Structure 1
Amino acid sequence: MTAPSTPATVLDPAGDLIALTRAICDLESVSGGETALADAIEAALTPCPHLEVLRDGDALVARTHLGRPARVVVAGHLDTVPVAANLPTRLEGEGDDAVLWGRGTVDMKGGVAVQVALAAALQAPTRDVTWVFYDHEEVEAEHNGLGRVVRNHPEWLTADFAVLGEPTAAGVEGGCNGTMRAEVRVPGVTAHSARSWTGTNAIHGTAEVLRRLAGYRAAELDVDGLVYREGMNAVGIRGGVAGNVIPDECVVTVNYRFAPARSVADAEAHVRELFTGYDVTITDAAPGARPGLDHPAAADFAAAVLAFTGGAPAPKLGWTDVARFAELGIPAVNFGPGDPLLAHKDDERCAVGQIRLCHDALRAWLTT
């Protein structure tokens, strides 16, 4: 393959892990702007003689070919949600008690840094490893870089087990909730605002939609021993024509996070039932994944890692690409540094000790 051009940012996978994490975080990569980071990781891993490096757009695969009896995928996304005056990163404190602040430190460049460091360092792991770095995870499922690799190069992802480096506070989280976005349309009748009684205000009409959402009680469903909490929330609203016109339409965008016991069809039916009487359009949906911790590969991983880090398996309440691996028939779990409750927050921050702990636990599992 053609050697990558020299990137503006040079990553040192053999250097200090936290310095590597900061360099990766400081290389801004909001969804759609991952090229510079993909270039930097490609340049860092291509010289490694034990890795075959492949690329599709801004998705990278670096894999060993050692003839091991099993192969594992370790995957992470390169993109973040928009920056909110929280870059460049800053480090506060000393040693493992230090805290790294900044966009991406939790979701999920701490995990990506662990991947880059281990991909370069582990020349002879006990399992063949496919390290995957992909784009466009934080946006609509149709743009997801891992999904693109599945469509274009399914053979790149052949594996017996997968680990997603999503934030789990260095614990093991099984499965994930599904996600669905819907647009609820409220009709109205246009009129001059000076004679508003001759029209019907669609924005005012959203009060009933919002009332139903405000009164919604999220279910908590036990799925194979893990309890998944659902959620139904308005995440956007648009309407209005001009400052002197009564609007004839207002659209409320709703995001439904549903437990993996429900199918996409079940979720759609639930949304439509909640908004009976309204025009509802489903704009995006991705199924969840059951925990799968009863699969031998997942159980062995959880036992080995949790013996190292402590704790017990928990549910992943967000959506992650474990669902995509589940659709491929590959058991998968979430394991990475960072408190998931801090993902996407303006004060996003990650404990340095968790980044090192995940690195050491994953290294131990891949070398024993």
Structure 2
Amino acid sequence: MTSSVAELTRTLVSIPSHEDETDAGDAIETWLREETAARVTRDAVGNVLARKGPTGQDGDGSTDRPSLALVGHHDVVPPADSQVRDDPGREGEYLVEEREGRIFGRGAADMKGAVAAAMVAFRDATPPDGCDLVFASFVGEEVGGVGARHAIEEGFVPDYAVVGEGSTNYSKPGVTDVVVAHRGRRGTTVTAHGVASHASEPDAGENAIYRAADAIDRIRALEFPAVDVAGEALTGSVAVTEIDGGSAINVVPDRCSFTVDERTVPGERIDFGVLSDIPDVEWTVDQNLPPMLCEDDAFAGRMLAAARECQSGDPELVTKPHATDAGWLSQAGTTCLVYGPSEPGEAHTRDESVSISVLERCRETYRQVAETWPESGGDDRSREENAR
């Protein structure tokens, strides 16, 4: 096993994990067992979790000490053909290349590079007296946070977490910023019901498309939700994205449905009750990825101070437009921040890559925060549901 962040990133990126995360999880688990004395576990869905105290291991298995978690995910979206090897004996592996100070390959930016940086930081850091350091790499982030939700249901709710999703080049080029809030995503299907009739006698029926059109007009008239965070407005959005209705050119339709993509902000949602007086219209929430907001100024300040110590630029507290697993953790009660190497425009692309120097920057920032937070002794709130 290797201790280099770059080499560990290359190893993880080479392992296919868009359909089955098992092999990538095996590599992470094995490395943690060989490189640390932490208590390492693998749960029923494949999440890899590790926990240690100031002595380097979780000797008594207690979960009532204040904790900081370094969090990532090792699943990825499907690769492009150009990102998969076809040479004999290595068919199916992801192609990994290093050039111009960057590592290229599916998952390099989103987010195996950050996972590697967190693993090395977890190994090297000594948490404050009376506090625990936790590592978690989840499965299923790209399909709605499957792993994070399972872990939370099983009791994984650390006091604090740094989620290693992208925060580089947000405020300005060349810096890795600290994200204190991000948007969520709610997907909703609205269905209008009517009464079918022959199109030559439209008044004999009730046109479901017309009812759906009335509902769409109501949705379009809604104001986008917004909140003020870190001196800027974090604004959501609402868009009708799909529509389906009708069975034939000569039939008044009895059903029409459309989907609404809503980018949510902390504490705000659009109110579908504006549709309640349109006859025979109903709506169902299909996906609801929660937003995240950190209201702990001390935690954000400590993270920002560490970020500034680990780079020559001037990072800032910023917001992020995309949902992450920090939303699920925040909803469960964990105080979260996002800090990671990925840059806008890198994730999910055919030439996805990550900067090696920024990986090292993140590793050192994670280590510094892990050695100074939580403050020794923590606060007085119950620890019964903290990270296992």
Q: TM-score, normalised by structure 2?
A: 0.73
Counterpart code for 1:353: S
Cα distance, 1:188 vs structure 2: 5.4
Residues 178-327 of structure 1: pairs in structure 2 closer than 5 A: 178-187=184-193, 218-223=224-229, 225-238=231-244, 248-262=254-268, 267=269, 269-273=270-274, 277=278, 278-294=281-297, 296-309=298-311, 310-327=314-331
Whether the 8 Å CA contact 1:187–1:248 is kept in 2: the answer is yes
Match of 2:70 in 1: 74
Provide closer, same or farther for how the CA distance between residues 338 and 190 of structure 1 changes in structure 2, counting only shifts above 3 A.
Answer: same
Aligned length: 339
> Is residue 174 from structure 1 mapped to residue 180 from structure 2 by the alignment?
yes
> Is residue 28 from structure 1 mapped to residue 16 from structure 2 by the alignment?
yes
Provide, for residues 302-359 of structure 1, a one-character-per-residue CA deviation record: whole Å limited to 9, x for no partner.
Answer: 2221332332110122222333333443322000011244434455433333223212
Q: Which has the higher contact order (CA 8 A, sep 6+)?
A: 2
Q: Distance in 1 between matches of 2:2 and 2:275?
A: 50
Provide, for residues 200-223 of structure 1, a one-character-per-residue CA deviation record: whole Å limited to 9, x for no partner.
Answer: 886797666666767776444313
Cα distance, 1:281 vs structure 2: 1.4
Q: Distance in 2 between matches of 1:347 and 1:239?
A: 39
Cα distance, 1:29 vs structure 2: 2.0
Q: Distance in 2 between matches of 1:347 and 1:213?
A: 37
Counterpart code for 2:190: V
Provide closer, same or farther for how the CA distance between residues 192 and 347 of structure 1 changes in structure 2, counting only shifts above 3 A.
Answer: farther
Provide, for residues 65-121 of structure 1, a one-character-per-residue CA deviation record: whole Å limited to 9, x for no partner.
Answer: 3259853110112222333446234546423xx3x44432322222112123333x4
Partner SS for 2:34: coil
Q: Distance in 2 between matches of 1:81 and 1:366?
A: 30
- Higher-Rg member (1/2): 2
Name the Cα RMSD after superposition.
Answer: 3.6
Match of 1:106 in 2: 109
Cα distance, 1:291 vs structure 2: 2.8
Counterpart code for 1:318: H
> Is residue 45 from structure 1 mapped to residue 36 from structure 2 by the alignment?
no
Select 1:146's aligned residue among 141, 145, 148. 148
Provide closer, same or farther for how the CA distance between residues 179 and 139 of structure 1 changes in structure 2, counting only shifts above 3 A.
Answer: same
Cα distance, 1:46 vs structure 2: 1.7
Residues 92-171 of structure 1: pairs in structure 2 closer than 5 A: 93-95=99-101, 98=102, 100-119=103-122, 121-122=123-124, 124-126=126-128, 128-140=132-144, 144-152=146-154, 154=155, 157=157, 159-169=158-168, 170-171=176-177
Q: TM-score, normalised by structure 1?
A: 0.76
Cα distance, 1:168 vs structure 2: 0.8
Provide, for residues 195-244 of structure 1, a one-character-per-residue CA deviation record: whole Å limited to 9, x for no partner.
Answer: 89798886797666666767776444313634212122345445566999
Partner SS for 2:17: coil
Between 82-91 and 325-334, the greater mean CA deviation after superposition: 82-91
Q: Distance in 2 between matches of 1:243 and 1:36?
A: 52
Counterpart code for 1:303: A
Unaligned 5+ segments in structure 2 are: 57-64, 84-93, 169-175, 373-388
Match of 1:14 in 2: 3
Match of 1:7 in 2: none
> Is residue 332 from structure 1 mapped to residue 321 from structure 2 by the alignment?
no
Counterpart code for 2:237: G
Cα distance, 1:134 vs structure 2: 0.9
Partner SS for 1:319: coil
Cα distance, 1:290 vs structure 2: 2.2
